[in-house]
């Protein structure tokens, strides 16, 4: 069936749900998936967990200007969310999704925020038995900061590194591997899970196999490599995704680099047009796909519908699985055969590494264009952004970001207003994305002899003025 896209009116009035009154956190997602015939064997969303993750944007500011940035033209002018409101939002999404929820502490870049406040936000999330992850471009995520946040309860650090960031001194994705290595070293040994985010666009699509190979070779350090496909949304200068980039082509590219045919069919994570998931086991340089027996894993996930699996711990997952299988011997037989097969495949690696086993997850996230929001996908969304009024699908949020980030907020000190008054010269520094490109274009068009006029123009640019 062709997708039914949200109209502008539907986007404007997209509902923010209330928390489930009975504490059945997974029920709303389960019901939504069922309504779209997606509650199929192998589905984990709404069955094993209530939501994929919630993004808590604690600042709208960023120290980069990515060509595919999801932030808005107004973002740089918005003041950081009051701490009190940050705490209130943490409590609010806890009421929606309960303990165990993955929380992206994000922005903008969250490390631009007051660092004491950042640590307190991480601690608040952890105190609610949720799982805080720092989503950062890494520039200010120093080892001392990561240590401090770890002490506050941080579980994961997700580094965004790719060519859309146009970092000076890095001419290719291969060159950026040096930076990825540096970031891995910063977090190594802190007992943090290390994640990497890569935006897939025309400029690096050919590098996806190389990147998958890079991450697979570091499965002892890196836990998750997420590939996000270009989407026409936000303030970035790049817009429509080229035809060559599809879920299928990205899956093939990752498989090529990982050296295995990764099906990305199991487990099912929410809507398959949004999310694709595959796992790799690695030991002593030998790797093998985890979920290649799709029927077995569908049976296991169905049998374990009441079981909570820890997505981040092999040991806990194996223990939960063992308990489950003791009550289902035919399934136990199939699982044992699978286990022995994997053991045999990995034998030399296990011998070489002294039995050390690592898991790497490859994830493909297919964000939608702001003008083409598929209603079914929005209704079954597993990636939420927290707003003043509640959590909302990240794709819907990005399509009308200003209506959220420019909202007044009531605090104990009165009404907090997001936009700060900025002199136009400072507003120029805040120009990012398309508006910056337009401004530079305007400036270049002025003849060189008008240097005085150029200066004047910088101070008075209509674009700069419109920001204040």
Binding site for ligand SF4 (CB under 6 A): 270-271, 274-275, 365-368, 377-378, 381-383, 393-395
> Taking the complex as a whole, how short is the minimal distance between the CB of residue 367 and ligand SF4, in angstroms?
5
> Taking the complex as a whole, how short is the minimal distance between the CB of residue 307 and ligand SF4, in angstroms?
24
| Of 164, 161, 28, nearest in space to 98 by CA | 28
> Taking the complex as a whole, how short is the minimal distance between the CB of residue 383 and ligand SF4, in angstroms?
4
Q: For ligand SF4, which is the closer residue by CB, 228 or 288? A: 228
Q: Which residues contact 445 (CB under 8 A, 6 or more apart)?
A: none
Q: For ligand SF4, which is the closer residue by CB, 270 or 391? A: 270
Q: For ligand SF4, which is the closer residue by CB, 176 or 364? A: 364
> Taking the complex as a whole, how short is the minimal distance between the CB of residue 377 and ligand SF4, in angstroms?
4
Q: Which residues contact 319 (CB under 8 A, 6 or more apart)?
A: none
Q: Are strands 102-106 and 131-136 parallel, antiparallel or unpaired?
A: parallel
User: Mind spelling out the 3-state secondary structure of 380-422?
Assistant: CCCEEEEECCEEEEHHHHHHCHHHHHCCCEEECCEEECCECCC
Q: For ligand SF4, which is the closer residue by CB, 220 or 273? A: 273
Query: What are residue 410's phi and psi, to 5 degrees?
Result: -85, 125
> Taking the complex as a whole, how short is the minimal distance between the CB of residue 271 and ligand SF4, in angstroms?
6
> Taking the complex as a whole, how short is the minimal distance between the CB of residue 3 and ligand SF4, in angstroms?
11
Q: For ligand SF4, which is the closer residue by CB, 346 or 378? A: 378
CB atoms closer than 10 angstroms to residue 417: 13
Q: For ligand SF4, which is the closer residue by CB, 11 or 325? A: 11
Q: Which residues pair with 364 in a beta bridge?
A: 227, 276
> Taking the complex as a whole, how short is the minimal distance between the CB of residue 195 and ligand SF4, in angstroms?
16
Rg (CA), the chain: 23
CA distance 201 to 164: 8
Q: For ligand SF4, which is the closer residue by CB, 153 or 270? A: 270
Q: Which residues pair with 196 in a beta bridge?
A: 159, 225
Give the number of residues written for the chain. 468
């Amino acid at each position: 069936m062709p997708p039914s896209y949200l109209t502008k009116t539907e986007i404007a009035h997209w509902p923010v749900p209330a928390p489930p009154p009975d504490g059945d956190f997974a029920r709303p997602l389960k019901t939504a998936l069922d309504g779209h015939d997606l509650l199929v064997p192998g589905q984990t969303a709404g069955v094993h967990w209530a939501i994929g993750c919630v993004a808590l944007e604690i600042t709208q500011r960023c120290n980069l200007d990515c060509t595919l940035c999801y932030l808005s033209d107004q973002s740089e002018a918005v003041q950081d969310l009051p701490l009190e409101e940050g705490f209130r939002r943490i409590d609010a999404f806890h009421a929606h999704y309960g303990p165990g929820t993955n929380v992206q502490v994000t922005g903008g870049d969250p490390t631009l925020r007051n660092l004491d406040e950042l640590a307190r936000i991480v601690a608040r999330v952890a105190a609610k038995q949720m799982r805080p992850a720092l989503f950062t471009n890494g520039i200010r995520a120093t080892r001392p900061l990561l240590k401090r946040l770890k002490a506050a309860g941080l579980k994961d650090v997700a580094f965004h590194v790719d060519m859309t960031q146009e970092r000076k001194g890095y001419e290719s994705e291969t060159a950026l591997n040096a930076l990825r290595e540096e970031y891995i070293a910063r977090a190594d040994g802190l007992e943090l899970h290390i994640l990497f985010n890569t935006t897939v666009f025309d400029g690096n699509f050919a590098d996806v196999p190389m990147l998958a190979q890079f991450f697979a070779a570091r499965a002892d350090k890196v836990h998750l490599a997420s590939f996000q496909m270009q989407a026409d949304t936000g303030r970035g200068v790049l817009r429509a995704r080229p035809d060559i980039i599809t879920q299928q082509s990205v899956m093939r590219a990752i498989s090529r680099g990982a050296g295995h045919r990764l099906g990305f069919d199991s487990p099912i994570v929410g809507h398959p047009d949004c999310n694709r998931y595959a796992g790799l086991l690695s030991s002593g340089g030998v790797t093998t796909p985890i979920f290649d027996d799709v029927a077995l894993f569908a049976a296991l996930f169905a049998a374990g519908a009441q079981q909570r699996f820890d997505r981040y711990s092999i040991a806990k997952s194996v223990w939960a699985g063992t308990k489950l299988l003791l009550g289902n011997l035919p399934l136990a037989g199939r699982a044992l055969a699978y286990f022995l097969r994997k053991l045999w495949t990995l034998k030399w690696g296990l011998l070489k590494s002294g039995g050390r086993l690592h898991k790497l997850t490859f994830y493909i996230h297919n964000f939608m264009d702001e003008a083409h929001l598929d209603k079914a996908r929005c209704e079954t969304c597993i990636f939420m952004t927290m707003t003043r009024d509640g959590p909302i699908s990240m794709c819907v949020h990005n399509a009308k970001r200003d209506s959220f980030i420019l909202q007044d907020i009531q605090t104990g000190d009165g009404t907090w207003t997001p936009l700060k008054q900025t002199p136009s010269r400072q507003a120029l520094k805040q120009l990012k994305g398309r508006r910056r490109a337009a401004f530079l274009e305007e400036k270049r068009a002025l003849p060189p002899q008008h240097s005085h006029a150029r200066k004047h123009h910088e101070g008075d640019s209509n674009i700069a003025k419109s920001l204040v």
